[in-house]
Structure 1
Amino acid sequence: MFFSVIIPAYNRERELPRSIESVLSQTHRDFELVIVDNGSTDRTREVVQSYIAKDNRVRYFWQENSGSPAGSRNTGIRNAQYEWVAFLDSDDYWFPQKLEEVNKVIEQQPQIVAVSHYEEQVVSGVFDKILKHGHGVGRPLYESLLFKGNAFSTSAMTVRKKELLAVGLFDTRRDYFAVEDYDMWMKLSQKGEFYCIHKVLGVFSIADGNMSRNIELINNNLKTLVLDHIERYPTENKNDLKRIHGARVDYYKGRSYQLAGEYGKAIPILLSSISRDPWKFKKVASLVFALLRIRK
């Protein structure tokens, strides 16, 4: 089985070599590596060209800055030569057996449309926890994702190319920035089965410095996405679902501000979430922590 590995990059001259080398070091050798440069102004192009000179499986595409990695991933998908597309963000990396393990699953489960696996989460270079993507996810998968939240990570996903094309690729609307992957998994979940490998096969990296700066944007877009899907969901109970799950997303926002130590922003958001969907212990606990100025 051949894979098309897609890495979107924007000004990643420092982080990109680790991601590229993690792909070139795979024990499963049948792949192409498609790197899409989203208008970088640093030495990203030169870094990629140094690998192209050594390995003809590496391909490079440059485009004007589209404002998000969704557009870069779509460019990569359109140019992918093989049936299965594996995504990798430019600050994440894989362990050497990743594609080998995914290949085994595809050979044994030919009906699936996507494969995921566990990851290590590393914050500012320090191990934080294991991310058990897909663990305990319910059925039907679409409803589980919509009503319980995103259970998957882009750098841990491998998807059949024809299904990515069938659902219209990643949504590039600004309202979906940073949540376009969640939208994609929900769309794909309506096309067929996902398979989750219960092994850690990669690392999800977080730079701690700018986490709180993106809380407002990400959670506002997440709320837009969830409410959009509920609007299309076949039920007569739309208003109740929007109230409950809008409050759930607001809890995420309030909790994120509380963990970031921005208690003045956290408290009113948590109070609003509780007022619309009470009797959730975790919401009350987060509010108490915010009132006591505790980051826990």
Structure 2
Amino acid sequence: MVSIITPVYNRQEFLDECVQSILSQTYTNWELILVDDCSTDLSVKMINNYVASDNRIKSFFFKENVGAGVARNKGIEISTGRFIAFLDSDDYWHKEKLKMQVEFMLEKQIEFSYTYSVKLDKNDNDSKVLLPPKSVSSLALLFNNYIKTPTAIYDTKRISKIFMPNFRKRQDWGLWFNILEKTKKAYCLPVPLAYFRTSNDSLSKNKIKLLKENFKFYRTHLNKNIIVSFLLMILFLFVHLSFRIFFEKKIK
């Protein structure tokens, strides 16, 4: 069984599309764990309706806002499936996503996998396809987070449950490093099976945020010194921008 972890915080606009993409999966042996992070909109009511309509859907409600990483960890903690998958509440999947990816992992005996993904523009149209490399090691991951969260699945039977680091930014990147301590590589199923939305912030503003968050990540999670963290931060920006130029293909 696949346990799908979905943190929710004020996502009434997109939540139904997310959940419907799971209900539409051709692979039906799943549980969806909706972890509400103290939403103040209609998300809570929607979650309760989903739980009442399908016994594969479970919920957990935080009484205070704790952030997506803590919410995802709670979902992992209460999950019962062999495979752990992630789908944020403003993203959605292709209907064949779970079937194709689970078969890929079982056939190849893979502990950790990811797929191609589709970036949506501000009008929710398919904008670009992201084409990450066929495999990623922890060394490669230092220079770019190639693994988009809604594409990732790992196998708890082979490497046990692994949790996200307990901070608000870059939790997914930290989880990939934690998983790669147990298995040397993650492998790509080269099919675009996940659709994700991005912030409408300006590119220059995002660059500054990216640099700050990455420097803190290298220092706190990977325990690098200031000089090494600074060098890695600069290299990350170069590799990240190169990836966006050469491996994000516009959809015509």
**Normalising by structure 2, what TM-score?**
0.84
Q: 1:160 Cα deviation (Å)?
A: 2.2
Q: 1:35 Cα deviation (Å)?
A: 0.3
Alignment of 1:41-52 (within 5 A): 41-52=40-51
Instruction: Name the residue aligned to 1:81.
Output: 80
Q: Does 1:120 align with 2:107?
A: no
Could you tell me which amino acid in structure 2 is paired with residue 171 of structure 1? Answer: P
Secondary structure of 2:145's counterpart equals coil
2:166 is aligned, of 142, 164, 172, to 172
Given that 1:27 and 1:96 are in contact with CA atoms closer than 8 Å, whether structure 2 keeps it comes out as yes
Alignment of 1:195-206 (within 5 A): 195-206=187-198
Q: 1:240 Cα deviation (Å)?
A: 6.3
> What runs of 5+ residues in structure 2 fail to find an aligned partner?
243-252
Q: Does 1:219 align with 2:219?
A: no
In our comparison, the structure showing a higher alpha carbon Rg is 1
Could you tell me which amino acid in structure 1 is paired with residue 150 of structure 2? Answer: S
Given that 2:5 and 2:85 are in contact with CA atoms closer than 8 Å, whether structure 1 keeps it comes out as yes
Q: Measure the CA separation in 2 of the matches of 1:128 and 1:65.
A: 35
Instruction: Name the residue aligned to 1:194.
Output: 186
Q: Measure the CA separation in 1 of the matches of 2:63 and 2:69.
A: 13
Pair 22,210 (structure 1): closer, same or farther in 2 beyond 3 Å: farther
Q: Measure the CA separation in 1 of the matches of 2:128 and 2:67.
A: 27
Q: Does 1:69 align with 2:68?
A: yes
Secondary structure of 1:245's counterpart equals helix
Aligned residues: CA RMSD: 2.6
Structure number with greater CO (CA < 8 Å, separation at least 6) is 2
Given that 1:137 and 1:144 are in contact with CA atoms closer than 8 Å, whether structure 2 keeps it comes out as no
Pair 243,16 (structure 1): closer, same or farther in 2 beyond 3 Å: closer
Q: Measure the CA separation in 1 of the matches of 2:203 and 2:226.
A: 32
Secondary structure of 1:130's counterpart equals strand
Instruction: Name the residue aligned to 2:147.
Output: 152
Aligned residues: 239
Pair 16,210 (structure 1): closer, same or farther in 2 beyond 3 Å: farther
Q: 1:59 Cα deviation (Å)?
A: 0.7
Pair 243,69 (structure 1): closer, same or farther in 2 beyond 3 Å: closer
Given that 1:121 and 1:204 are in contact with CA atoms closer than 8 Å, whether structure 2 keeps it comes out as yes
Pair 68,50 (structure 1): closer, same or farther in 2 beyond 3 Å: same
Pair 8,230 (structure 1): closer, same or farther in 2 beyond 3 Å: closer
Given that 2:144 and 2:236 are in contact with CA atoms closer than 8 Å, whether structure 1 keeps it comes out as no
Quick check: which one's helix share is greater? 1
Pair 252,199 (structure 1): closer, same or farther in 2 beyond 3 Å: closer
Given that 2:2 and 2:82 are in contact with CA atoms closer than 8 Å, whether structure 1 keeps it comes out as yes
Alignment of 1:244-263 (within 5 A): 244-249=231-236
Alignment of 1:217-296 (within 5 A): 217-228=209-220, 231=223, 241-249=228-236
Q: Measure the CA separation in 1 of the matches of 2:66 and 2:121.
A: 24
Pair 37,197 (structure 1): closer, same or farther in 2 beyond 3 Å: same
Instruction: Name the residue aligned to 1:142.
Output: 138
Pair 191,80 (structure 1): closer, same or farther in 2 beyond 3 Å: same
Following TM superposition, the consecutive aligned residue runs of length 4 or more in structure 1 with deviations greater than 2 angstroms are: 64-67, 160-166, 209-219, 226-232, 238-244, 246-253
Given that 1:36 and 1:61 are in contact with CA atoms closer than 8 Å, whether structure 2 keeps it comes out as yes
Pair 230,180 (structure 1): closer, same or farther in 2 beyond 3 Å: closer
Given that 1:16 and 1:90 are in contact with CA atoms closer than 8 Å, whether structure 2 keeps it comes out as yes
Q: Measure the CA separation in 2 of the matches of 1:20 and 1:38.
A: 17
Pair 34,229 (structure 1): closer, same or farther in 2 beyond 3 Å: closer
Q: Measure the CA separation in 2 of the matches of 1:63 and 1:123.
A: 31
Q: 1:67 Cα deviation (Å)?
A: 3.8
Q: Measure the CA separation in 2 of the matches of 1:142 and 1:231.
A: 14
> What runs of 5+ residues in structure 1 fail to find an aligned partner?
233-237, 256-281, 283-296
**Normalising by structure 1, what TM-score?**
0.73
Pair 229,137 (structure 1): closer, same or farther in 2 beyond 3 Å: farther
Q: Measure the CA separation in 2 of the matches of 1:36 and 1:85.
A: 14
Given that 2:32 and 2:58 are in contact with CA atoms closer than 8 Å, whether structure 1 keeps it comes out as yes
Instruction: Name the residue aligned to 1:22.
Output: 21
Quick check: which one's strand share is greater? 2
Instruction: Name the residue aligned to 1:102.
Output: 101
